[in-house]
Structure 1
């Protein structure tokens, strides 16, 4: 027993295995307490002993597995996270140690390990060994299937590994049911690669090693479930490799219909092609075609919708008698966002409408009002006079539909009990960044710690067990927390005694290093306040925080701050410097005369400072213009080109050095706009707007590089700030408008939606300069930062909310710089389509008042080029809409506009 403990403590895995073979069951049982003591000891080792710790972990894992007699205890020991080293777990040694156990016991351990979500994938090789030794049924948990798929493929190249694996017939079908789909199935896209699973599965099904029908069922059912694009692509590879027969395709019409209606674009396109083949063979009923068409025509992908209209056209040519059942489905496309789709649908209906009765014709005419003004003339030719509807153009009576301007929301009171504080703190530590919750919980921690610090500390010790800083030394935690607070994590560490007051005192007064960007300064402002709060939690708990915002935007009412200072004076408490400075940066100064008088009457240094601050008309960070040689905008707005240059500066404010603590003095110095995204964008950025909620334009200036990267570098997620800045206090300036222009052309949809939200918020607050945004957009398109197809998607989304006049105002300012460009920018046809839709919806008169009189330069030339390209058709449509007044006549075509 002593020898086993010594070998395990020294990390000698082979010696442990040999000693176990010579020990009786009683000796093994007696060794367990010592092994547990060693396991507890190594948890407290510093990270510089990682190599030694890894060896001991491996030895302990083998020793414990050999000594434990219960299957549940053995599985828990083998699967324990704290016994996992950085190297590969010695599965072969563990299996050898257990080979003398009863097969039933081995089977129990194997299935228990397979059921462990956290480790089953990693333990797949050991589970395979145990299953082979026991002869039990193969486990089929998702995690084990994932691990098995990864372990079996690299073992022997190609189908050989699966052909010889007796578990493959059971586990391969389970691969299609696992969530997520095993990564082995999706790793390689090249069908010629030897580890390409889809090709391998199709080959083994052809050889009869795997049941082909089971694979087909698995693929189809998983495609119906949906998933990530890579998963669906791999499943389509498998399905195509299996080569379904016409009978198999026809037997699954309902499945293909579901995929076509609800699947990813690639899946829907495949299902649509299959159904097209089934229809061509005359094996697709009219009712089934109508049902699946209704789902496809509702989709936004224009390629799918156009293909479905083509399929319906073929079926109607084959069987004109199907018109009464199919034409009402075709009319569903009358309301599609794409004008060409609407035109195709109308043309198809017009061709076959003579074959329907009066009732169907009346139903089709009722749907025709969705076509909009561009197609109203053609629709009236087919159906006669149409009634009023949403599709009718509006001129004099047009009214913009905008969301209500957002109202500030008050913060809820801070949590007041130990249990509430601990619960909400844990939620924040495990969830996403939330400024409102962050401020409430931080204030709650301070308030509760002031009343019952020891009770809060004890509750946090129990709740924080297992976090990375709970086992190391105080010095080790100091080193890491002195560089990054990791949000409220440092607060929990401070209250539980894991960081020192000395480190916190140094960190809270540390200035921003010269030369760092404003992003570093904003992060340092947040961290410095946390370090300061932690320092006072250890040395002199504050009664509450002064800088906790009143409103969700991060702003603080001046009257509230005066009341807090009055309470501090009553309690004889001394404000924390960074917290008080942050309160000044957040306080609303507009209309603060009464609050300034009350602050001056407090008779305290902080009251006098607040009174002077409320009376100071100077913005915190006054943004100035640095003109450059090629700018044509004078000194009134940022340049619309050369975004990488230093284009702005902040006026020096020496008073910051005298009146603000060192962590915030950087705000009084000149700040450059970085030309690229810096590493400071990696975390904590969502707390930055709350540092300067009264100066949204300065924030927009500093956040601009990240938003620009969403369009220029295809970055993801950095346009989150646009709705926040749109709701910020103060008048938005040119930098916010430029950031908005970048966000509208972002690569990813969530970023474009954030920009659209900001656009509508500014429009609702009557703070949007559509001309400025449009000119910025045009400049960004010219220099290649923004792609027109992305801009068109944003504009279409905004217009669909009812903001046609707002979107037209933006596009009218951008278009003069675009049609005349040769060659025409890709996506210009989409932009012209949205513009034409906006003009038709709000009416030419309203459009002229919004964007000024006159036609867009270059539009006539584009429309006169001839042909049926999207660009020519939409240029003709926009030209006709601008020329024709508010009458509902057929728009001019490319030929008539020459």
Structure 2
């Protein structure tokens, strides 16, 4: 008896050893067969050894990556067959280190689970379905378990995504028809917030892989409930979302169609879609409602509500269609004019003057049908019309109703006032509270960052131990105190200074980092970031060696600038205390000092009288009238200077002039500003970014021309590429100090032509600020825009949107002055410039509002062309506006034009 048991034990041990060897070797296909020879007790005993092996395999290095993957596949199958509970089996199968290897293990898993009870399998299926990654990536496994157990079909997002991925290809209809889960899952798919990729793709209604067409076929066959599909589509469209996610329910709804009852019974839903949905959805809802209106299924009040929503939208196609619908309804029922005409006046303010004209004509056709109150209301709204329609409006409403004798006045925003930097937190507790808030943002604004850094330096000088104790308590478990690298690649801003203060960074590391040689940066982003890094390393080193009472480079203004008298006073305190300024701190202070202020001359004399080298350097810096801005030029398209596409970022050439003061007096981290360099292309990886970018402008707050020059590749990426947020620096450039020259205007031109609307809006704000400060050169900006538009870097439609936005704020004269310099290049171009008509339309609007500005080359020839394209129509409109002005003074002598232009320039700067 003992011999038999011993023999069985030996056999079992051998089978176990063989199984473990197969698992270790990654032979997962052999696992089900080997596992079949073990009973329940043996499997239970095997499980701890599999767990140990799993832990071992997890620690294998990258040199064993392939073997590790195979072993983990085998572990997944073996462990699933040894688990006794469904919960434990689900945890093992769905473990992160055992999943993600495709469907290689599905057959093996199903084999080792084949003998389980249906209830057990159902429990396992539901638990796996609740794991999003497993349900999607291992859909075949979960689906097979659901079928075997007969449990309810899971309807969570992961399972739905897996199902839609499985149902694809040219036999989509057959696959959906054969799957009994299809009627259950389709309604839930329609409810997903993000449409699965297979459904969002547009193959065309004739393609056998087109989901909407397949579902319509099944609805026609009765496999799917057509009414339920319509309800699902409408509900999903009403919830809104990205156009990509609405494409599928809209396409399905269009294929299914709607019955009269479905259209009339959901008027409120159609009205909601026409008001707020993306254009394709709104267009479909508008079509449905238009059919209802013409069939008498829409009340006048509902049509008025619909019209008010549509006419408020910007899409020209929708607005034109709605005006056409209103015209048809009013022809059939003129008595509805009292309710419908008041909503038509919403189109009086549309940016398209052709739409304004149609709206005014519609009002004029039925004006006799309304009473005096409505007529007065319409006359008041006529002020929104473009001046080109003023004569028609006067004829319709009378001159008295439109009387406006006020002369044109340019409206520009007030000049932004810089804010003084608030003093550092007076107590350690307040400082720590600010640092905790700043840690979450790491850098924050220039004001937040500099004020906090100033507070750390001052309190460390007063009572370093008290500050350390408070910091240790506040940041006891901060990752940057234990695991972060503060010196190898870059700093972590003020966190590096705090880490140094708390002993998490050795002084030798900080000293080596601040003295590290600096290679020529590959882009301005890295150059600006490295200047900030060097300042942090130097400040951190001071924290643990010789704390100073304050830093010289702490700004006095929110822009990062320092008043010259303040810097002189700081140098005097350093001299009296026997302190020698640190190299990076002093260099940054010099770059920040305001050289253009009235007190700069007196401050230079006081600095020279200090009798220190630092004072002499400040005096020389304040009296030197030399910008650090490199000479700027641009290679033409088609000239290869760098590999890659012909982006403007690759064609910008910045000629850096050698400046002895930078070479001899400044630390190497600032060498890029002018030390021994010849003409170099400063192309930039536009996708390189850094969380420190809010602090970049404060490196050069008194020399915005230099800052703009080095950031031009970023701005070019916003105009030519997909870069979002590229124009952020224009706000700082517009509000900073220093001269405004070619680089600022080129950067502004690129910002106005940015791909993304939010970047164009940022550029418009910068344009208006520069204009309000009297620093904008419209001729230079117009010339830059002409170059960028004609070469294709800036798209006319984007520029027109920015120009229209700027003009609408009341800056018509400013925009007019820019466009007058731009339009000749477009109108006389050898090849037609697509979208030029939109720019001419904006120019015409400006000329109608504030008067003309001389003759524009090519305008008369364009206006004389046959046809009615937008360019020709708007050219005629602009010519008429200029002709009215020029008709008063048909011929001007050169001196008269000079006087007129000087007057207009003064008008713009006010």
TM-score by length of 2: 0.80
The correspondence for 1:793, drawn from 801, 811, 817, is: 801
Cα distance change on mapping 1:770 and 1:201 into 2, 3 Å: same
SS class of match (2:655): strand
Verify: 1:692 aligned to 2:691, yes or no: no
Q: CA deviation at 1:769?
A: 1.4
Map of 1:402 onto structure 2: 413
Cα distance change on mapping 1:106 and 1:588 into 2, 3 Å: farther
SS class of match (1:855): coil
User: Deviations 1:825-881 (Å, cap 9, x if unpaired)?
Assistant: 333332222222223323x2xx5xxx5xx3333333333446544334333333333
CA distance in 2, matches of 1:459, 1:67: 48
Map of 2:640 onto structure 1: none
Deviates more, 1:783-792 or 1:116-125: 116-125
SS class of match (1:258): helix
Verify: 1:265 aligned to 2:279, yes or no: yes
Map of 1:636 onto structure 2: none
Query: Contact 1:512–1:666 (CA<8 Å) still a contact in 2?
Result: no
Q: Which runs of 5+ in 2 are unaligned?
A: 1-12, 638-646, 889-910
Map of 1:623 onto structure 2: 630
Verify: 1:288 aligned to 2:302, yes or no: yes
Verify: 1:655 aligned to 2:661, yes or no: yes
Cα distance change on mapping 1:175 and 1:645 into 2, 3 Å: closer
Query: Contact 1:405–1:764 (CA<8 Å) still a contact in 2?
Result: no
Cα distance change on mapping 1:484 and 1:816 into 2, 3 Å: same
Deviates more, 1:271-280 or 1:408-417: 408-417
The correspondence for 2:234, drawn from 212, 216, 220, is: 220
User: Deviations 1:564-584 (Å, cap 9, x if unpaired)?
Assistant: 778989999987654554444
Query: Contact 2:293–2:329 (CA<8 Å) still a contact in 1?
Result: yes
Map of 2:859 onto structure 1: 859
Cα distance change on mapping 1:665 and 1:287 into 2, 3 Å: same
CA distance in 2, matches of 1:629, 1:169: 60
Verify: 1:761 aligned to 2:761, yes or no: no
Map of 2:875 onto structure 1: 875
CA distance in 2, matches of 1:310, 1:324: 17
* Larger RCO, structure (CA 8 Å, separation 6 or more): 1
CA distance in 1, matches of 2:536, 2:520: 22
Q: Which runs of 5+ in 1 are unaligned?
A: 631-640, 889-898
Query: Contact 1:509–1:663 (CA<8 Å) still a contact in 2?
Result: no
SS class of match (2:228): helix
Verify: 1:678 aligned to 2:692, yes or no: no
1:299-378 to structure 2, matched below 5 A, reads 299-378=313-392
Map of 1:807 onto structure 2: 815
Query: Contact 1:74–1:109 (CA<8 Å) still a contact in 2?
Result: yes
Query: Contact 1:140–1:171 (CA<8 Å) still a contact in 2?
Result: yes
SS class of match (1:159): helix
Q: CA deviation at 1:310?
A: 1.1
Q: CA deviation at 1:715?
A: 4.9
Map of 2:897 onto structure 1: none
1:519-668 to structure 2, matched below 5 A, reads 519-529=525-535, 547=553, 549-556=555-562, 577-578=583-584, 581-589=587-595, 590=597, 591=599, 607-608=614-615, 611-612=618-619, 615=622, 617-619=624-626, 621-624=628-631, 648-668=654-674
Map of 2:783 onto structure 1: 775
Deviates more, 1:816-825 or 1:258-267: 816-825
1:154-553 to structure 2, matched below 5 A, reads 157-387=171-401, 392=404, 394-395=406-407, 398-405=409-416, 407-408=418-419, 410=421, 420=433, 424=437, 427-428=440-441, 451=465, 462-464=477-479, 482-483=488-489, 508-514=514-520, 516-529=522-535, 547=553, 549-553=555-559
SS class of match (2:728): helix
Map of 1:638 onto structure 2: none
SS class of match (2:314): coil
Map of 2:739 onto structure 1: 731
Cα distance change on mapping 1:105 and 1:419 into 2, 3 Å: farther
CA distance in 2, matches of 1:259, 1:218: 15
Cα distance change on mapping 1:757 and 1:112 into 2, 3 Å: farther
Verify: 1:751 aligned to 2:759, yes or no: yes
Cα distance change on mapping 1:499 and 1:235 into 2, 3 Å: farther
Q: CA deviation at 1:538?
A: 9.0
User: Deviations 1:238-265 (Å, cap 9, x if unpaired)?
Assistant: 2222233454344433333222221111
CA distance in 2, matches of 1:609, 1:201: 82
Q: CA deviation at 1:454?
A: 8.8
CA distance in 2, matches of 1:107, 1:865: 76
Deviates more, 1:656-665 or 1:125-134: 125-134
Q: CA deviation at 1:511?
A: 3.4
Query: Contact 2:632–2:709 (CA<8 Å) still a contact in 1?
Result: no
Query: Contact 1:402–1:802 (CA<8 Å) still a contact in 2?
Result: no
The correspondence for 2:159, drawn from 134, 141, 144, is: 144
Cα distance change on mapping 1:598 and 1:885 into 2, 3 Å: closer
Q: Which has the larger radius of gyration?
A: 2
SS class of match (2:286): helix
Query: Contact 2:653–2:682 (CA<8 Å) still a contact in 1?
Result: no
Q: CA deviation at 1:75?
A: 4.9
TM-score by length of 1: 0.81
Q: CA deviation at 1:200?
A: 2.2
CA distance in 1, matches of 2:609, 2:98: 64
Cα distance change on mapping 1:202 and 1:496 into 2, 3 Å: farther
Q: CA deviation at 1:697?
A: 0.8
Map of 2:843 onto structure 1: 835
Query: Contact 1:484–1:527 (CA<8 Å) still a contact in 2?
Result: yes
Q: CA deviation at 1:190?
A: 3.7
Q: CA RMSD in A?
A: 4.8
Query: Contact 1:788–1:827 (CA<8 Å) still a contact in 2?
Result: yes
CA distance in 1, matches of 2:276, 2:542: 56
Number of equivalences: 854
Cα distance change on mapping 1:646 and 1:280 into 2, 3 Å: closer
